[in-house]
Structure 1
Amino acid sequence: MGGPEPLGRRTFVTGAAAAALVAGTGSSAAAEPPGGTLPGFHLALKDDLRFPLAWGTSPVRDFRAWRRVARAKVEELLLTDRQEDTPYAPEFTAGTRGDGYTRESVTVSLTRYERVRGSLLTPDGPGPFPAVLLLHDHGSKFDIGKEKLVRPWDDDTRLASARGWADRFFDGRFVGDELARRGHVVLCLDALGWGDRGPLVYEQQQALASNLYHLGSSLAGLLAREDQRAAAFLAGLDRVDERRVAAVGFSMGGYRAWQVAALSDDIAAAASVCWMTGLKEMMVPGNNTLRGQSAFHMLHPGLSRHLDIPDVASIAAPRPMLFFHGGQDTLFPADGVRVAYGKLRAVWRSRGAEERLRLKTWPEYGHVFNAVMQDEVYGWLDSVL
């Protein structure tokens, strides 16, 4: 297939159809009709979903055996090569010093197709250190990816954009820098379409997903596979204690955090902020999922015939997991969060490990990861790592 595509800024092209869409409607999410369209028989389709592979419903009664079966089913439906063994071949470039930590850019091969650039922060001291795989959100903002969570040090244009994002969702903090200051190695990489690997525009997401399906692959599956590989790369660094690697993310990054914990034994704990729900409760008129576009980054075809969303996250049990939700978050209906939390609690309780599961709804907050929530996550990480 030839060597990996060279890294660098590029205009994201997904074909003539995508170009026509962009030319015809612009790049604003508002161009999409609100809520999308559900067929009249959608309630019957919902009733057909029984999630037969869920723990407690599955005929497999041994939990370790169930984890293997459930993980294998998810792996099958990623539609991407599970035997990826391309050498990472990391290239490190020194950056500026932070407050008690050093900054580096790192470029790695997560798959055989492309080199990926990320930010790597390392605390001062001898190590080895606990580490965090930090996973960025979606937000329909593609000019920055890793910079949403790690302060850029070599690009003033991106710094201005990143500061605006941090002010909007993180109380002006850069979560990665906070974690490094508190003694964690931090790795944050661009997902396909963001930062150095984009930028996409809103309408191109569906065209990109469609093209990958035509090629026998999957946008969500590629994202999951890359996160698995990133976890293994981080755990393998000499500066990292491989037994103390956590995944942390907000919004789509929260989805990615519990997903990689379910699919990777390199992750010892995970914190997911503002992404957990029951599937049936999420699929209601007006929900953002029905619009298409951003949903394709988190859509594994056929998976819901076997497992609900919290069932997939439960593959990570009984490892420590944290889920936070904002009570004013309109993206995730309260019923969906309640159902998901109930399923998660039942699984961890069945393992005698309910104290390892932190579930919390903040009634006064919306779709944010503010300083109060961050501080609780940082304290939790200290306690479990």
Structure 2
Amino acid sequence: MLFVTSGPGMAENKPPTGIIEGNLPANVAALKAQMTYPDAWQSGHFSDFTRWQQHARQLLRSALLTPDSHKPFAPQTLMEEDRGSYLARKIALNITDDNRINALMLLPKAAGPHPAVVLLHDHGSKFDIGKEKVIRPWGDAETLASAQAWADKFFSGRFPGDELARRGYVVIAIDSTGWGERGPLVYEQQQALASNYFNLGRSLAGEMAYEDMRTVDFLTTLNNVDSKRIGVLGFSMGGFRAWQLAALSDKVAATAVISWFGTYDGLMQPGNNVLRGQSAFYMLHPGMPAHLDIPDVASIAAPKPMLIFSGGKDKLFPPQAVEDAFARAREVWASQQADDRLVTKSWPELGHVFYQQQQDEVYPWLDKWLRP
């Protein structure tokens, strides 16, 4: 038998190398073809939406690799500042059975109960501040300067939490692991931290997601909060956290997502940030993409109100990936006769930001659903 090892036409039969551009495996096309999302609402495998929702939510909850917590929150006030119509307060609480952390809260002085918003900070590769990115800090000039510079860059100089408190909301923000008083990390530590969570039988992304769930649960224990009117707002990684939290917790009444949406196929392209590892580990639940695409997870929250904004010039989220995800989510809300409860919008002139013109649409939208 003759084996031909070279000659015309043999180049195309050469085995691919193990890694191709963008840290992707050489067989990425074959692997992507297997991502058919069999647990999505659109899969055709489900006829009852509520049962699908329960099934998909349980899939996601199991993927967190994080046990339920039972320890009382035991909040303690550490600092307080009067800001006119509302109070700014730093508290300590047991966010889980394993972690006691600090949080920032804003509390209207008027009689409650009030609607509330959980604010979820971004990644930004800036770890010295977390909760202080979205609520103006006090008591430390260096922290305030860092936070104000961040607000100037991404939020038109305004702190979202303080804007919401002026509108009559109770607001809370915590640090995720690695940020602010729970860090600060340096960028290169993220991958090792994530792998060591796996070594401990846990998940870095799962801990972040579960602590966000517990933040909502904490608000429901407060007498000055209307537990039926709790909203969620997040920018960038906080936007990811926002739709994820709405999917995980049926206690979330309305959700605003800024600058984190797309499909796995659209985002897993050479050059995209999700292919770098490191920061991506905060958003990776092992095995979940074999079951549900990104918009499928967000759609677990349907038919509750959700707003999703993206910047047309956002280099992290290609326009086609975003529009494909928008369309997939719209199918789900439409299937529940809830088209009016889902807002999807791309801002052609904007990048990866949450500027004042966007805020001026988001805050009244939250009012519509949380302060009717």
Shorter chain as denominator, the TM-score bin is over 0.9
Count the aligned residue pairs. Answer: 350
Sequence identity percentage: 55
Correspondence for 2:106: 121
- Match for residue 55 of structure 1 among 41, 47, 51: 41
Matches within 5 A, 1:341-360: 341-360=326-345
- Match for residue 81 of structure 2 among 82, 96, 103: 96
Correspondence for 2:182: 197
Matches within 5 A, 1:231-242: 231-242=216-227
**TM superposition shift of 1:58:** 4.6
- 2: CA distance between counterparts of 1:37 and 1:114? 34
The amino acid that maps onto 1:41 is N
The amino acid that maps onto 1:51 is Y
- 1: CA distance between counterparts of 2:221 and 2:299? 25
Instruction: Specify the SS of the correspondent of 1:99.
Output: coil
**TM superposition shift of 1:60:** 2.1
The amino acid that maps onto 2:60 is V
Instruction: Specify the SS of the correspondent of 1:56.
Output: helix
- 2: CA distance between counterparts of 1:249 and 1:324? 11
Matched, 1:319 2:291: no
**TM superposition shift of 1:140:** 0.4
Q: C-alpha offsets along residues 182-207 of structure 1, whole Å, 9 cap, x if unaligned?
A: 11000001111000000000000000
**TM superposition shift of 1:94:** 4.0
Correspondence for 1:158: 143
Correspondence for 1:79: 65
- Match for residue 369 of structure 1 among 354, 359, 371: 354
Matched, 1:262 2:247: yes
Q: 1:220 to 1:58 in 2, by over 3 A?
A: farther
Instruction: Specify the SS of the correspondent of 2:118.
Output: strand
Normalization by structure 1: what TM-score?
Answer: 0.90
Q: Structure 1 stretches (4+) deviating beyond 3 angstroms?
A: none
Q: C-alpha offsets along residues 97-119 of structure 1, whole Å, 9 cap, x if unaligned?
A: 11311111111111111211010
- 2: CA distance between counterparts of 1:272 and 1:71? 19
Coordinate RMSD, CA, aligned: 0.9
The amino acid that maps onto 2:245 is V
Matched, 1:227 2:249: no
The amino acid that maps onto 2:53 is R
CA contact (8 A) 1:288 1:331 kept: yes
Correspondence for 2:27: 41
CA contact (8 A) 2:22 2:269 kept: no
The amino acid that maps onto 1:286 is G
- 2: CA distance between counterparts of 1:134 and 1:60? 33
CA contact (8 A) 2:120 2:242 kept: yes
CA contact (8 A) 1:99 1:181 kept: no
Normalization by structure 2: what TM-score?
Answer: 0.93
- Match for residue 52 of structure 2 among 41, 47, 66: 66
The amino acid that maps onto 2:223 is D
- 1: CA distance between counterparts of 2:79 and 2:270? 49
Correspondence for 1:7: none
CA contact (8 A) 2:304 2:341 kept: yes
- 2: CA distance between counterparts of 1:200 and 1:90? 26
Give the number of the structure whose alpha-carbon radius of gyration is greater: 2
Correspondence for 2:277: 292
CA contact (8 A) 1:95 1:153 kept: no
Q: Quick check: 230-239 or 343-352, which moved more?
A: 230-239
- 2: CA distance between counterparts of 1:36 and 1:203? 18
**TM superposition shift of 1:56:** 2.1
Q: C-alpha offsets along residues 60-91 of structure 1, whole Å, 9 cap, x if unaligned?
A: 2100000010011111111111x221211111
CA contact (8 A) 2:103 2:173 kept: yes
CA contact (8 A) 1:167 1:173 kept: yes
Give 5+ residue unaligned stretches, structure 2: 1-20
Matches within 5 A, 1:183-194: 183-194=168-179
